[in-house]
Chains A and B, each alone.
Chain A
């Protein structure tokens, strides 16, 4: 076991982690721990763009952007945070350009902008061009640019170091971050990183669904680590289903395709979004479009022999436009479906895409241990966190924005904190939980396989807590997850070695997914209303009287060692916008 000491430790090297690292490294001795290599992070898969009211191509301002974000989130957004997001968006985009990001350009040489779902001029009048983009590779360019600037700043990376535990020490009765425990994939060695400040930027948890745009590695490791230490998770019932995933595979096809003029059609060739969103049509918010697609499918207007998908039609767009603006997604259609998007429509279905919920933070990125108390030295940013700027449904292009705005904020806040603070004493036997977990898995003689349990988890999540939910389907999921968690105790792996044991890693990841799936389902069961990405057929309306509040889920351990989930609620911060009916 090795012990390292750093001022600041960042967990995760995607957009949020590297944006934080650039700030943190300038101010404090920083280590970045990632279970991958930085450039493998899933920020690189984001396509369509990053929202900012630059007003380069038409009139726009940050107040309209704030309103769209609040409305898009079905009024569950904390409005003070949304205002910061929209205001700081402008400098965030300009900072990236100065760091070298190769944005597409207007004829004047400024950053070009295009339309995206839910972004409108003057509070919903018409779509507005707000998304700053680099073809359909904006996430790739952001990830590369941030990595390039990490190289420039000399950021210290620990690649293929998997963080398994968050260390917390009580100082004068206050839970305080002491560091993290990590597992080195190459050697199987356990490392303790003692740090004054820890930032979680480890991304989402979409792999508990089967049809998902998420990478295999998005298993909620950060959320699970802090949750197991008694810290809450906020709004976990809100998960975004992106309307246009490649049929069956779930690979993302950017909303930018509709921003460029692409149209969704049912089996009759009808542009069905006109019925559901007369103004924004195909560019309504993602929750609305995903529900509309499934409504078409349920009512028998789906495409194909099984009627289980609809079409994304790009055939009316000039091939030059597709080549210039959507080169990657058109190639995905050719590679994975054998379809030529110049001439044929692309079969799509909604795909599990983004966790709106996560580790609760304030606008400085400080993690909360309840509705108001900050955990000194602990920060989170990006998809792992819940600020909450996305509320019940995130707008497209607001996540690349979120990682930059709040990654930067967390990086500055954590480094400034670690320059003032003293090291907190490590708990006794800091690695004990991790050592036990690893040894149990290595020595297990159980009969359950990781892949089987994961598949069953994904199947129940897809069937029961996806776009449409009812009390009955969610209960089915809760029961199934409980069964799987029980069976997980009997899981065994085949690889007993120490070197690059990805078999072991997948078993640990499954444990994280099971814990988070349970939180998600239990939170969803209790929210007896429909809001944003959480749609209850048995409660089809939004209920502001009883549910205009964030869910806070805590893990409780009973005297007999069994754990359970306790739900609490946190008020929503409302400033300038009163809740209104949401129409697109």
Chain B
């Protein structure tokens, strides 16, 4: 006898309450046209499925040219940040039932980064800003300890929130300052600087703070909280930025 689960899954999903949803997707393919256009797709889909499932349904059953990035499909890899109904979210972490499927669901690429094709944007400027904050542990000890460095649970907790970042760019590409000036480091880079500045083991906080003291640094933040709202990992991004600002003033961290 075969592993006894598949047929039942089939049977039940066939009986599940499918609804008809319109996906209104922003299309752009410079091989075809210099203009971006909206295209509507009608789908019969279980509202408990993810927006990513809807996009796959389009790509796999209707139009194979629809192009987007995705990998893990459960909110860990950070590939599929998109602007869904005007808000930055991960397509794999957004259930259709939660975003008012009675109206057309709009799906666009994240803003502030060059669109390359459909929902795919150029991530290079985003990763460049990340690399610029020296996102790695820096210590000055000349002799490596033989065992692990000690860290109290309290010190570990101090930077826990910002270790959750998956570099999806939902925060940075939701920031009006970043839209207007791509030179701004953006929330994600600051979050990753925060992760090291407040790590008790790190000894390069001053250097990182100086980098963020730049004219394109942390002072550009206008505290609109878009980044915090957009973060699919629930990181308090604006708070982290505020903590970096405060550290710059007090030089205590």
| Interface-facing stretch out of B18-26, B148-156, B242-250 | B148-156
B77 touches A186 (CB 8 A): no
Q: How far is the CA of A180 from the CA of B76 in the complex (A)?
A: 30
Which residue of A148, A248, A463 is within 8 Å of B136 (Cβ)?
A: A148
B65 touches A495 (CB 8 A): yes
The answer to whether residues A499 and B30 also contact, given A40-B77, A44-B77, A462-B3 and a CB cut-off of 8 A, is: yes
Which residue on chain B has the smallest CB distance to residue A297?
Answer: B4
The answer to whether residues A42 and B77 also contact, given A109-B151, A497-B29, A500-B67 and a CB cut-off of 8 A, is: yes
The number of chain A residues touching the other chain, given as a range, is 35 or more
B73 sits at the interface (CB 8 A): yes
A105 touches B151 (CB 8 A): yes
Which residue of A105, A134, A144, A336 is within 8 Å of B74 (Cβ)?
A: A336
For B36-66 the 0/1 string (1 means CB < 8 A from A) is 0000000000000000000000011101110
A436 sits at the interface (CB 8 A): no
B144 touches A98 (CB 8 A): yes
Which residue on chain A has the smallest CB distance to residue B159?
Answer: A102
A141 touches B1 (CB 8 A): no
Which residue on chain B has the smallest CB distance to residue A42?
Answer: B72
B137 sits at the interface (CB 8 A): yes
Min C-beta distance of B234 to chain A, whole Å: 8
B207 sits at the interface (CB 8 A): no
- Using a CB-CB cutoff of 8 Å, which residues 25-67 of chain A contact chain B? 36-37, 39-42, 44-45
A108 sits at the interface (CB 8 A): yes
Chain A residues with Cβ below 8 Å from B77 are 36, 39-42, 44-45, 215
Min C-beta distance of A348 to chain B, whole Å: 12
Q: How far is the CA of A106 from the CA of B134 in the complex (A)?
A: 28
Q: How far is the CA of A92 from the CA of B75 in the complex (A)?
A: 28
A94 touches B147 (CB 8 A): yes
A140 touches B72 (CB 8 A): no
The answer to whether residues A499 and B29 also contact, given A44-B166, A100-B137, A148-B136 and a CB cut-off of 8 A, is: yes
Q: How far is the CA of A152 from the CA of B202 in the complex (A)?
A: 14
B14 sits at the interface (CB 8 A): no
- Using a CB-CB cutoff of 8 Å, which residues 520-577 of chain A contact chain B? 537
Which residue on chain A has the smallest CB distance to residue B200?
Answer: A109
A503 touches B156 (CB 8 A): no
A451 sits at the interface (CB 8 A): yes
Chain B residues with Cβ below 8 Å from A123 are none
Chain B residues with Cβ below 8 Å from A502 are 59, 67-68
B95 sits at the interface (CB 8 A): yes
A98 touches B71 (CB 8 A): no
Chain A residues with Cβ below 8 Å from B165 are 144
Which residue of B65, B148, B159, B163 is within 8 Å of A94 (Cβ)?
A: B148
Q: How far is the CA of A497 from the CA of B78 in the complex (A)?
A: 26
B99 sits at the interface (CB 8 A): no
A102 touches B156 (CB 8 A): yes
A481 sits at the interface (CB 8 A): no
B91 sits at the interface (CB 8 A): no
A205 sits at the interface (CB 8 A): no
A335 touches B71 (CB 8 A): no
Min C-beta distance of A94 to chain B, whole Å: 6
Chain A residues with Cβ below 8 Å from B163 are 102, 134, 137, 141, 144
Residue from A148, A249, A451, A467 whose CB has the most chain B CB atoms within 10 Å: A148
Min C-beta distance of B189 to chain A, whole Å: 12
B167 touches A306 (CB 8 A): no
Min C-beta distance of B185 to chain A, whole Å: 15
A473 sits at the interface (CB 8 A): yes
Q: How far is the CA of A499 from the CA of B65 in the complex (A)?
A: 10
| Interface-facing stretch out of B5-13, B212-220, B221-229 | B5-13
Chain B residues with Cβ below 8 Å from A249 are 74
Which residue on chain A has the smallest CB distance to residue B131?
Answer: A151
Chain B residues with Cβ below 8 Å from A495 are 64-65, 67
B79 touches A40 (CB 8 A): yes
Q: How far is the CA of A294 from the CA of B6 in the complex (A)?
A: 12
Chain A residues with Cβ below 8 Å from B76 are 44-45, 140, 328
List the interface of chain A (C-beta within 8 A of B).
36-37, 39-42, 44-45, 93-94, 97-100, 102-111, 134, 137, 140-141, 144, 148-149, 151-152, 186, 210-211, 215-217, 248-249, 251, 294, 297-298, 305-306, 308, 328, 332, 335-336, 349, 449-451, 459, 462-464, 466-468, 470, 473, 493-495, 497-503, 537
28 residue pairs of the A-B complex, CB under 8 angstroms, read A36-B79, A41-B77, A45-B72, A106-B153, A109-B151, A109-B152, A137-B164, A148-B136, A152-B134, A210-B6, A211-B9, A251-B73, A251-B74, A297-B5, A298-B4, A328-B76, A332-B75, A449-B60, A450-B60, A451-B60, A451-B61, A463-B2, A463-B6, A463-B7, A464-B3, A470-B1, A493-B64, A500-B116
List the interface of chain B (C-beta within 8 A of A).
1-9, 11-13, 29-32, 59-61, 63-65, 67-79, 93, 95, 116-118, 120, 123, 127, 130-131, 134-137, 144-145, 147-153, 156, 159-160, 163-167, 196, 199, 201-202
Q: Which 3 A-B pairs have the closest CB atoms?
A: A100-B137, A494-B64, A451-B60
